[in-house]
Structure 1
Amino acid sequence: MRRFGSIGLAWALVASAGVAQDIKPAVPAAATKEKPAEPVEKIVPQQRSTKLSGMFGGQRVNYTATIGETIIAGDDGTQKAAIVTTAYVKDGRDPARPVTFLFNGGPGSGSVWLQMGAFGPKRVAIPSNGTDDGAPPYPIVDNPESLLDVTDIVFIDPPGTGFSRLLGKTEGKEFYGVTADAKAVAEVIRRWISDNGRWNSPKYLGGESYGTSRSAAVVNQLANATYNDVALNGVILISTILDFGAGADRAGNELSFITTLPSMAAAAHFHGKVPNGGGAVQLEPFLNEARAWAIGPYATALLKGQQLQGEDRAAIRRQLARFTGLSEAYLDQAELRVSPDRFYKQLLRDRGLSIGRLDARYTGKDYDSAGENYDNDPSFYGIDAGYTAAINAWSRGTLGFVTNREYQSIGNLGRDWDWRIEGGRDQNAYLNLTPYLGTALRENSGLRIFVGQGYYDFATPFFAAEYALSRPGIPQDRVEFHYYQSGHMMYVRDQDRAKLSADIRAFIKRR
Structure 2
Amino acid sequence: MLKSLLHTGLIVLFLQSACISSNAFANDIRQIPIDEKVVTEHKAKINGKTIPYKATTGTQPVWDEEGHPTATLFYTYYQRTDVKDDAKRPLIISFNGGPGSASVWMHIAYTGPRVLNVDDEGYPLQPYGVKNNDSSILDIADIVYVNPVNTGYSRVLPNDEGKMPSKDEQQKMFFGVKADIKYLAEWVTTFVSRNERWRSPKYLIGESYGTARVSGLALELQNNQWMYPNGVILVSPTDLGIERNGPVKAANRLPYFAAAAWYHKALDTDLQQQDLTPILAEVEQFTLNQYLPALAKGSFIDPDEKLRIAQQVAHYSGLSLTDVLQSNLDIDTDYFWKSLLRDRKQTIGRLDSRYIGIDEKVVGASPDYNAELTSWLHSFTPAINDYLRTELNYKTDIKYNMFGPVHPWDRSGNKTGENLRLAMAQNPYLNVMIQSGYYDGATNYFDAKYTMWQLDRSGLMKDRLSFKGYRSGHMMYLRHDDLKQSNQDLRQFINSTLPTEQQAAKY
TM-fit CA distance, 1:77: 2.6
- Out of 112, 115, 131, the position equivalent to 1:120 is 112
Given that 1:82 and 1:165 are in contact with CA atoms closer than 8 Å, whether structure 2 keeps it comes out as yes
Partner Cα distance (2:388, 2:120) in 1: 24
Amino acid across the alignment from 1:404: D
TM-fit CA distance, 1:278: 8.3
| Residue 318 of structure 2 corresponds to residue 325 of structure 1 | yes
Amino acid across the alignment from 1:61: I
- Equivalent position of 2:48 in the other structure: 58
- Equivalent position of 1:209 in the other structure: 208
Give the TM-score taking structure 2 as reference length. 0.86
Partner Cα distance (1:66, 1:466) in 2: 36
Partner Cα distance (2:372, 2:395) in 1: 31
- Equivalent position of 1:260 in the other structure: 253
Structure 2 residue matching 1:469: 3-state secondary structure:
helix
TM-fit CA distance, 1:191: 1.1
Structure 1 residue matching 2:70: 3-state secondary structure:
strand
TM-fit CA distance, 1:61: 1.4
- Equivalent position of 1:99 in the other structure: 91
* CA deviation vs aligned residue, 1:50-72 (integer Å, no higher than 9, x gap): 01111123322111100111111
Partner Cα distance (1:397, 1:280) in 2: 48
- Equivalent position of 2:267 in the other structure: 274
- Equivalent position of 2:355 in the other structure: 362
- Equivalent position of 1:218 in the other structure: 217
Given that 1:61 and 1:90 are in contact with CA atoms closer than 8 Å, whether structure 2 keeps it comes out as yes
| Residue 229 of structure 2 corresponds to residue 232 of structure 1 | yes
- Equivalent position of 1:440 in the other structure: 423
Partner Cα distance (2:252, 2:401) in 1: 31
Given that 1:63 and 1:88 are in contact with CA atoms closer than 8 Å, whether structure 2 keeps it comes out as yes
| Change in CA separation of 1:44 and 1:493 when aligned onto 2, cut-off 3 Å | closer
* CA deviation vs aligned residue, 1:155-202 (integer Å, no higher than 9, x gap): 100111111010012342110111111122212211121111111111
- Equivalent position of 1:183 in the other structure: 182
- Equivalent position of 1:309 in the other structure: 302
Amino acid across the alignment from 1:382: S
Structure 2 residue matching 1:344: 3-state secondary structure:
helix
TM-fit CA distance, 1:130: 5.8
Partner Cα distance (1:432, 1:319) in 2: 36
Question: Which deviates further from its counterpart, 368-377 or 398-407?
Answer: 398-407
Amino acid across the alignment from 1:172: Q
Amino acid across the alignment from 1:327: S
TM-fit CA distance, 1:108: 0.5
TM-fit CA distance, 1:411: 3.4
Partner Cα distance (1:407, 1:215) in 2: 23
* Count of residue correspondences: 456
* CA deviation vs aligned residue, 1:260-290 (integer Å, no higher than 9, x gap): 1110111111111213478695211111111
- Output aligned runs, 1:51-200, within 5 Å: 51-92=41-82, 94-95=85-86, 96-129=88-121, 131=123, 133=124, 136-168=126-158, 169-170=164-165, 171-173=169-171, 174-200=173-199
Unaligned runs of 5+ in 1: 1-37, 422-430
Partner Cα distance (1:313, 1:385) in 2: 44
- Output aligned runs, 1:335-414, within 5 Å: 335-411=328-404, 413=406
- Equivalent position of 1:40 in the other structure: 18
* CA deviation vs aligned residue, 1:99-140 (integer Å, no higher than 9, x gap): 101010000111110011111111111133365x26x52142
Partner Cα distance (2:386, 2:425) in 1: 43
Given that 1:99 and 1:153 are in contact with CA atoms closer than 8 Å, whether structure 2 keeps it comes out as yes
Amino acid across the alignment from 1:137: P
Structure 1 residue matching 2:105: 3-state secondary structure:
helix
Amino acid across the alignment from 1:333: Q
Given that 2:40 and 2:56 are in contact with CA atoms closer than 8 Å, whether structure 1 keeps it comes out as yes
Given that 1:107 and 1:412 are in contact with CA atoms closer than 8 Å, whether structure 2 keeps it comes out as no
Given that 2:95 and 2:103 are in contact with CA atoms closer than 8 Å, whether structure 1 keeps it comes out as yes
Give the TM-score taking structure 1 as reference length. 0.86
Question: Which deviates further from its counterpart, 51-60 or 116-125?
Answer: 51-60
Given that 1:126 and 1:383 are in contact with CA atoms closer than 8 Å, whether structure 2 keeps it comes out as no
Q: Percent identity?
A: 34
Given that 2:34 and 2:60 are in contact with CA atoms closer than 8 Å, whether structure 1 keeps it comes out as no
TM-fit CA distance, 1:432: 4.5
* CA deviation vs aligned residue, 1:349-384 (integer Å, no higher than 9, x gap): 111010011111111111110111101111111121
Amino acid across the alignment from 2:410: D
Partner Cα distance (2:120, 2:326) in 1: 37
* CA deviation vs aligned residue, 1:311-361 (integer Å, no higher than 9, x gap): 111111111111111111111111111011110001111110100111111
| Change in CA separation of 1:278 and 1:146 when aligned onto 2, cut-off 3 Å | farther
Structure 2 residue matching 1:418: 3-state secondary structure:
coil
* CA deviation vs aligned residue, 1:1-54 (integer Å, no higher than 9, x gap): xxxxxxxxxxxxxxxxxxxxxxxxxxxxxxxxxxxxx96248551210001111
Partner Cα distance (1:119, 1:270) in 2: 26
Partner Cα distance (2:117, 2:259) in 1: 26
Partner Cα distance (2:207, 2:240) in 1: 15
Unaligned runs of 5+ in 2: 1-15, 21-32, 159-163, 499-507
- Equivalent position of 1:22 in the other structure: none
Partner Cα distance (1:464, 1:335) in 2: 21
- Out of 456, 465, 469, the position equivalent to 2:448 is 465
| Change in CA separation of 1:335 and 1:433 when aligned onto 2, cut-off 3 Å | same
| Change in CA separation of 1:376 and 1:203 when aligned onto 2, cut-off 3 Å | same
Partner Cα distance (2:432, 2:17) in 1: 47
CA RMSD of aligned residues (A): 1.9
| Change in CA separation of 1:317 and 1:382 when aligned onto 2, cut-off 3 Å | same
Partner Cα distance (2:424, 2:118) in 1: 37
Amino acid across the alignment from 1:485: R
Structure 2 residue matching 1:64: 3-state secondary structure:
strand
Partner Cα distance (1:92, 1:325) in 2: 53
Partner Cα distance (2:272, 2:336) in 1: 21
